[in-house]
Structures are given as C-alpha cells and as structure tokens.
Chain A
Amino acid sequence: MITVAIEWVALIILLFTLLLIGITLYLFWSRTREKANQHVKKAYIEKHNRHWYEYFRNLAPFSEEMVPVSPYEIEAVEEIFLSYLMNVSDADIRGKIKQFANEHLVGHYKRMLSSRNWGKRMNSLYRIADFQIYALLDVCEQMERAKLSRDEYFQLLKIKLLFREERFIESFLFMPVKMSEFQYKQYMLLLSPSLLEQLKQRYTELVPECRYALIDTIGIRKEMDTLDFLKACLRDEDSEIRIRSLKAINELNIRIDLTEYDSFIASPVWEERFMMTLLLQRLPDEQSLPYLEKLMNDSSWYVREEAGRAISERRQRAGKRDAEPAY
C-alpha cells in the first residue's frame, strides 16, 4: 500500500513540477512580450506626444498617423488622454478626446466589455466614462441586464448619469445592488440641480446610506435653498441624519435662529453638541457666549476643546478691538 502511495505522491510531484516549470516558462515568455509591448507604447508616446499637443492646442491638424493600431498603442493614447483630462479643463480638448474616442476606440472598448476578465471590463467602463464614448451607451445598457458585480453596476450607472441623465433616477432608485455611502456620494456630486431636487422629493424612498450621502452633498454644494429640507431632517429619529444635517447647515455659512436648535445643546449625543459649538460660532457674542461657556464643561473632550477654542478666539478678537486706538 505504501509503495502505491509513493507512486501516487511521486506522480503528483512530477505533475506539479511540470506545471510549475510550464508556468515559469510562460511567465518569462510573457515578460519578454510585455517588455516589447511596453517598448511599442513608449515609442508611440515619444513619437506622437508632440503631435497630440499641437492638435489639442490647434497648432496642427489631426493626422491619420496618430491613430493607434495595436492595443499597446491604444494604451499609449489612453496615457496621453488621461494626463490631459486630469490636468487640463479645456472644453475644446475634452471635445477632441471625445470625438477621437468615439471614432477610433469604440471597437477596442467593446471587445474589452465582453472580456471574461473582470479587470478588463472595469477598465473599459472607466474609459467610456472618461472619454465620453456615447457610441457604446446601448452596449452598456444591454450589460445592465446581465449579472454584474457591484463595481460594474456602479460604473454603468455613473455612465448613465453622465450621458443619459433622464434615465438615471429610476435606475438609481431601483438598482439591484446596494452601494456604499462612498459610491452614493460620487453620484450625488455629479447630479444636476434638477436631479438633486428630484432626489430630495423622493427622499423617503432612499436607503439610509443614500440619505447620508444626499445630506452631506447638500452641505458640500452649499445649496442655500435646501435649508427647510435640512431643518425637516433634524426631526429624524436617526441621530446620524440629525448630525449630518447640522453639519450641512453649518456648511451653508448662515446665522441660525437659536430657538430652533437649542434642544441640541443639551442633546445626549455628543456629536450633536459638537456641531452646535460650530453653529454657535456664527452668532454674535452676546447670543453665543453663555452657551459656549456651558459647553466648556461638557462631558466630551471634543466639545470642550472646540468650545474653549471658540471662546479664546473671541477673547483675542475682543482684546485686539480694545487695543485699537479710538479715533
């Protein structure tokens, strides 16, 4: 029996060794090929970087020579385009990138969209959004029907938001996967004012993470006409909603009517009291100082520190005013 086992183990080792030798040879071969391909990519960038610059700056016309022929030349074009998109916000350059991508890169990205490799599909979706390849929108919509990962669905919906805004809200509200707050926020910051308004009206249909993202976005975008909406959120049972609403109101840089907020100064949630120390700083001294002094003795170190900092700043300002000569 042992002899049989030895034979089996030896056979497994032999097969495993052959497999590893095969993988090693494949790895070295693919590295050599990759090196050659990187050389092609580098050569394209060296040869055409200047041409693209001149074309983008309207210093020279477009030349057919600039059209990439191999996948590695396409990668080189991606590098060039992405560096412009990341560093330049010129609408003309963006328009030229969009036009070129829609004319010459559609086939490449379509092939990548149907790849079995998830990474390649994701790369294709990123580039469709970056280069605004509207020629592939129908293909993207067809993809939505297939079983997708959360990241793919996120990117597909982002493409829809960028290029087919009118179809976004329904897909967003009834999406089959649950996104993270981070992802919801990415959508929110891209929403047009009319879409943002639509989402506010359908607030109750949103999941909590999406509500948090919406409130944060209102604060970041300083949407002044949303104060009533934020005030309504202050009555929410979820303390996270209340805290974020207070934060968003603070971001709006407005003087609050203290009578509407004074319950938060004695809130059992320290984050709410902390947000109140920030909001109080927008009020005149005679209104805010009694509350800030009370918050100086708060049970939370963060509240005490912020209240203390606010009081000392006020005292410094008052000291400066006193020291100024009266004319």
Chain B
Amino acid sequence: MNRWIEGIMYFFGWTIFCYMAIVILVYSVMLVFAQIELRRQYKLDKRDLEESTIDAVYSKPVSIIVPVYNEQAGVIDSIYSLLSLKYPQTELLVVNDGSKDGTLQLVMEHFRMVCVDKPRAGKLETKRVTGVYQSAIHSHLWLIDKENGGKADALNAGINYSRYPYFCSIDGDSILEENSLLRVMKPIILSNGAVAAAGGNVRIVNGFHVQNGAVHQTMLSNSALIVMQVIEYLRAFLMGRIALSRWNMVLIISGAFSVFNKKLVVEVGGYSCNTIGEDMELVVKLHRFIKEQDLDNRIEFVPDPVCWTEAPQTLKGLRNQRRRWHQGLIQSLWAHKRMTFNPKYGAVGLISFPYFWLVECLGPLIEIGGYIYVVAAFFLGNIYYEFAILLMLLFILYGTLFSIASVLLEAWSMNTYPRRREVIRMILLAMTEVFWYKPLSLFWRVEGLIRFLLRRKTWGQIARVGFSEKGAAE
C-alpha cells in the first residue's frame, strides 16, 4: 500500500513540478518581451502620430457597436464616452438586446431617439429587430432594438446595420479614453489593412471618479477583491498579450474593446451565438480563416489604448464571471481542436493552442492538484515534506513575484496609479495572492471546466452599479 502511495505521490509531485517549471519559463520569456516592447516606446511622444491620424483624409471610418442588456446603470456614461472620442469618422450603434430594465427608455429619452426606416445591409442571421432609431441630437448615434438573443447576436445585428469597413465592439459597461480608438486603429492604418483585428488594453474602473463618460481621477479601489482583479488584468494584458501579439499568436482580444475588419468577420459568419466566449471564438475563427485561405492578415494587441470596465464587486459575481470565461475558453479550444499541433496553422497551431490547452485550460486543474499535494505532503512527511516546500516556492515564484513584476512594469511604463502608496498596496496584496485569491480563482475555473464537461449553458449576470458617483441612471 505504502509503495502505491509513494508511487502516486512521486508521479504527481514531478508532474506538477514540470508543469510549474514550464509555466515559469514561459512567463519569464513573456515578461522579458513585454519589457523590451514597452521600453521601445518609453517616452515616445505620440502626439504627432495622433494628430495626423485624426485627419479624416488618412484614417478609416469605424462603426462602433455597443451591445447592451440591462445596462441602465452605466449605459449613458458609456455612450457619452463614445460620443466624445477623438476620431474623425464614426457611427455609434447601440444594440439593445431585449433589456428588461429601463435601458431602452433611458437611451431613447436621453438622446431623443427618433424611429427611422433603415434597412439592414448585412446578411448575418439574428433575432428579430423590432426598431431602428436615430438620435435627433447626434445624427451618427443609432439605437437598434431587438429581441433578446445574447451578446453575440446583438453584435451581429450591429454588424448588419453598420456602414463602415471596420467595426469596434465595446461592452455597454465600458468607457474609452478619448484617444483610445485612434490608438487601437493605428496598427490597422499603418499596415494597409493587413491587421484584421486589434484589441486594446482593458482596465478596471471601480473606485475611479467618472463623470459624463470620462475618467477624471484614477484611484485604487478600497476593496481587496477589486485590487486583486486590477493586478490580474495587468498581468494578463501586459505580460501575456504583448508577447503573444509580437508573433501573431493572440487567441483572445477582449470583447470589451476591439476593432475588426468587417468583411473578414462576415466571411467567417460573424460572432458565434452558441458559444459563451464569443470574443475568443471570433478571434480563433479569424486565425483559422486567415491560415486556410492563405491570407496575409494578422491579429494584434495594442497596449496603450485603454478601455475602462466595471469588475464584479462580490465573490458571487466574480465566480460567475470566471467560470463563464473558462467555460468559453474551453468551448473554443474544443471547437477548433484540430488546429492543435497542426503545422498548417503556423505558430497559432503549434504554440498558441498547446499553450492555451496546457496553461489556460488544464492549468487550474494541475495547480489545484498542486495545492492538494502540498497539504497531503505535509501530513505524509519525509521526502514529500521537501517536495511540498519546493512546490510552495514555485507557487510563490509563479503567483506572487510575476504579479509584482507586472505591477512594477505598469508603474514604470504607463503610470496609471501615480501615488506611491497605491503601488505599495498593490505589491503587498500581490504577496497575499497565493494564499486566497489564487486558490479561489483556480477553483472557479475548475468549475468552468466541469460545466463544460456537463454541457451546462446557464450563467448568472453580474450586477452593475454604474460608473458615476450617483449612478448614471439619475
């Protein structure tokens, strides 16, 4: 019996050790490349490029699509932030996906929407559109009211009614900085359209002072849960995506803020309505289409255009979000499993897919196994005790130190949180990540994996409180 336990412990111990070693190595490489990329642009004055891009002669017109469902708390602020964007030619399409709260009425009244007869130009299948409205105040603001069909369906409806060759998808609970669209369009404009999609950097707005769609004061939230999410976003966006983008291996650009070539998106059938993670699914479909058609397109992540989004404030909300994200991720990986290790898909098939399978999909399961191993090993004593110490050290290296490195990378390159006290607070909280936040998020992601295996399709909605101090609905 003891030999059996010894064998199992030995096997799992080394499996977890090898996994951790690979992950740490990959993260280290990513960190180095992110640092090199950010250092290149350090101190660069971006005014010249932005000033020239802002001229309609040079830029490409963009349709901004905002799907909204029960977003009455933040929708007005979102629309204001989009109306004040510094970009020469845009149209703004707010798609109300059958909201049950006062979202539709609020937008109709606030922007004096008038019913118009605008036929749809696109052919993507969607739920029935019940009305198209144009603002009497801002002629480029449209409201499309439709039956509820989910976010992907609402985005497809927006694509059908959009006019311009590029569209920007933005969540109804997000706000953009005034030059964000200019910056995210830069790789598209500079590449003669070779960049098929570009995603911006998403940050958490909770705790900030927002008025009429603009972030006036950046202040770190008082909630430890929110701050941990801030750190998590920094790590994911700054470390992971910059490096993956460098070799056209990005599989996720956030649905909260990304720009797409409409023609290519329509070619791949638009957003998939039967998957949870419609943003990742679209990116994977685009990669697949580009490779299969032998096109010279790429998908990029751009670190400096910032989109502010509201993060879940409660453990329940966060749990819902994380397990939904993880379920969506696995759905996409599974749907396109043939791309894994397939040289036909280049670096996406040979590196991105295996990385996402191992680190993003199965990672939580292995890491939870690592936590269980550590606890079990302390009880079993002898050699396991030493192994447990080794794994704990690896967890600290992987979980805590990389998070601190991301905080410092952000503080050095972008300086969103200029107060020294806030940086120290983030560093201190990052030190605690391994002990509470990490196990929780791993557990929720494993739940997502189980839900995928059980083919569960229901998920809760995150309660929104709005950006403005008094709430935008007022």
Contacts and interface: CB of A to CB of B under 8 A. Distances in A.
Interface in B380-423: 383, 386-387, 389-390, 393-394, 396-397, 401, 404-405, 408, 411-412, 418, 420, 423
Contacts of B121: 301-302
A24 B387 contact: no
A13 interface: yes
Contacts of B12: none
B8 interface: no
B390 A183 contact: no
Given A123-B45, A126-B48, A302-B121, A27 B389 contact: no
Contact of B393 (A13, A119, A181): A13
Interface string A1-30: 011011001101100110010011001100
A86 B44 CA distance: 19
B398 to A, nearest CB: 10
B42 A119 contact: yes
Interface residues on B, range: 35 or more
Interface stretch (B94-102, B186-194, B218-226, B228-236): B186-194
B390 A9 contact: yes
B295 interface: no
Contacts of B59: 182
Contacts, number: 88
Interface in B14-73: 17, 39-45, 47-48, 51-53, 57-59
A183 B49 CA distance: 10
A20 B403 CA distance: 11
Interface residues of A, number: 38
B427 interface: yes
Nearest to B390: A6
Contact of A180 (B51, B192, B411): B192
A23 B401 CA distance: 12
A9 B394 contact: yes
Nearest to B396: A13
B408 A13 contact: no
Interface string A294-306: 0000000110000
A86 B51 CA distance: 10
B401 A16 contact: yes
Contacts of B51: 86
Contacts of B52: 186
B189 A180 contact: yes
B61 to A, nearest CB: 13
A306 to B, nearest CB: 12
A280 interface: no
A117 B42 contact: yes
A182 B188 CA distance: 10
B394 A31 contact: no
Complex A-B, nearest 4 residue pairs according to Cβ-Cβ distance, in ascending order? A119-B44, A301-B121, A9-B393, A182-B189
Nearest to A12: B397
Contact of A189 (B45, B57, B401): B57
Contacts of A130: 48
Given A119-B44, A126-B48, A23 B408 contact: yes
Contacts of B40: 117-119
Contacts of A126: 45, 48
Interface in B256-314: none
A120 interface: yes
A244 interface: no
Contact of A6 (B47, B386, B404): B386
Given A2-B387, A27-B408, A20 B45 contact: no
B420 A28 contact: yes
Nearest to A126: B48
A185 interface: yes
Contact of A2 (B44, B386, B412): B386
B119 A301 contact: yes
A209 interface: yes
Nearest to B186: A182
Contact of B58 (A16, A117, A186): A186
Contacts of B119: 301
A6 B13 CA distance: 13
A6 B393 contact: yes
Contacts of B404: 20
Contacts of B383: 2
Contacts of A2: 383, 386-387, 390
A36 interface: no
Contacts of B393: 6, 9-10, 13
A13 B397 contact: yes
11 contacts: A2-B383, A6-B390, A13-B401, A16-B401, A31-B420, A82-B47, A117-B43, A119-B44, A122-B44, A186-B52, A302-B121
Contact of B41 (A86, A119, A180, A220): A119
Contact of B44 (A12, A31, A123): A123
Interface in A109-144: 117-120, 122-123, 126, 130
B401 A17 contact: yes
Contacts of B411: 27
A126 B45 CA distance: 9
B390 A119 contact: no
Nearest to B424: A24
